[in-house]
Amino acid sequence: MSRGLPLSSILRLFAYIMPAFLEVTVPMAMLLAILIAFGRLSADSEMVALRSSGLSLYQLVPPVAIFVALTTLATAGIALYARPWGNRSLKAALYDIARTRASAGLKPAVFNDDFPGLVIYTEGIDPTLDRLSHVLIADERDPRQHNTIFARAGFMISDQRAQTVTLRLLDGAIHTTDPRGGAEYQTDFQSYDVNLDLRQAFAGLRQRERDPKELTLGQLARTIAAKQAAGRPYGPELVEYHRKFSIPFACIVFGLVAVPLGIQPARAVRARGFVVSLAVIFAYYIFLSAGQALAEQAVLSAVLGLWLPNLVLALLGGYLFAQAARERTAVGLERMQLGLARLRQKVVARLGAEAA
């Protein structure tokens, strides 16, 4: 916004960034929803009523399982397709912004060397008008002469079709030096155009390898196979490959943990649910981030680094669920009472026989 970009461009950038947030926040929202739902059942004593009617905790699982399955599918779609699309589109949008609003890439009071052979310095920038004040340019694109250009002001004029930007300088001078003969001379001007080729400036960025976060599952598999055949390291790609599965699987783990934690009695259900979900999520993503970093540095394998947090929470959730589901039914109590009565009768009969 400080660079004068329109609101539509800013909203478009937010839309491209959103899948990366949703990949993490959708499992969080699911965990919080389950905690609040079961917490409300427990706080209103509805869990007691359900169990008194003969329903066990296992019989309450199917609706939760359907909800968790839908959330897992949604998270998988975001991880496999939406997030790579968002990362690719974000980079393309930034290129488009640089073409249409050339001054957005320049910083005032800084020597900008984004364009090959040019160093541009300006004291101030008005991004709404693409106007520069007190401009200094070191132009070494021509090896036969070096130009140092001073101008009172300048304007950026963009040509989207040719992918070029013309920097029109006003009221200045050009100090030229011939490196071979050592001659120097100065030329004053009222208006002087400096052509900036964006295609050349962005050529290195476009030709470089794609970031693993921009690749879909099939592209990651092909990249890993190609690098493996060529004997090149493919650690980041393998980490991203496993991440696309471990994050959606976390929905299942969160559901397994949320049910037994949610049925614990509490007065402030929403506050307790928020605190518990925050603690679980914080612990999970701390372990996930640490495992991912260690896997990228080849300290741990990608499988261990990305799946260990899921395994730990799955074991914890299974234990908590088994403890929460363990309850004594009326039938069990009756059997225990009959057994005690029979034991008492045998004891009394044996004592009577000994006394006789």
pLDDT tens-digit readout, 51-74: 777 777 788 888 999 999 999 999
Instruction: Give the model's pLDDT for residue 98.
Output: 64
269 and 330, same domain (yes or no): no
Q: How many structural domains compose the chain?
A: 3
Residues 263 and 333 in one domain: no
Domain boundary among 173, 206, 239: 206
pLDDT range class, residue 333, cuts 50, 70, 90: very low
217 and 318: one domain? yes
Q: Based on the domain organization, do 92 and 216 belong to the same domain? A: yes
Q: What's this model's pTM, rounded to 2 decimal places?
A: 0.64
Q: Is residue 297 part of a domain?
A: yes
Residue 40 pLDDT level (bands cut at 50, 70, 90): confident
- Residue that finishes a domain, picked among 175, 206, 237: 206
Q: Are 84 and 154 found together in one domain?
A: no
User: Contacts by 86-90 with C-beta closer than 8 Å and gap 24+?
Assistant: 86/15, 86/16, 86/17, 86/18, 86/19, 86/20, 87/16, 87/20, 87/211, 87/213, 87/214, 88/214, 89/16, 90/13, 90/16, 90/17
What is the predicted pLDDT for the residue at 65?
Answer: 92
Least Cα distance to 277 among 310, 255, 303 occurs for 255
Beta partners for residue 187, in sequence order: 174
Mean per-residue pLDDT for 304-328? 84
Dist. CA 1–CA 330, nearest whole Å: 67
What pLDDT does 16 receive?
93
Let me know whether 71 and 18 are in one domain: yes
**Mean pLDDT within 276-292:** 86
Mean pLDDT across 245-255: 92
Shared domain for 303 and 354, answered yes or no, is no
**Would the pLDDT of 206 be above 80?**
no
Q: What is the pLDDT of residues 222-243, one digit of tens each?
A: 988 988 888 888 888 899 999 9
**pLDDT given at position 331:** 46
Q: Are 37 and 262 in contact (CB under 8 A)?
A: yes
Last residue of a domain, one of 150, 177, 206: 206
pLDDT higher for 19 or 94?
Answer: 19
What's the pLDDT tens digit per position in 87-144?
888 877 876 776 555 555 677 888 887 777 888 899 988 776 778 899 999 988 888 8
Mean of the per-residue pLDDT values of the chain: 81
The answer to the question of residue 2 being in a domain is no
What are residue 120's DSSP bridge partners? 112, 137
d(CA 63, CA 65) in angstroms, rounded, equals: 5
pLDDT exceeds 60 at position 328: no
Task: Assess whether 130 and 86 both reside in one domain.
Answer: no
- Alpha-carbon gap, residue 48 to 126, rounded angstroms: 67
pLDDT, position 134: 92
User: How far, CA to CA in Å, does 273 sit from each of 267, 270, 325?
Assistant: 11, 5, 20
Domain of 356 in residue numbering reads as: 326-356
pLDDT band at 78 (very low <50, low <70, confident <90, very high): very high
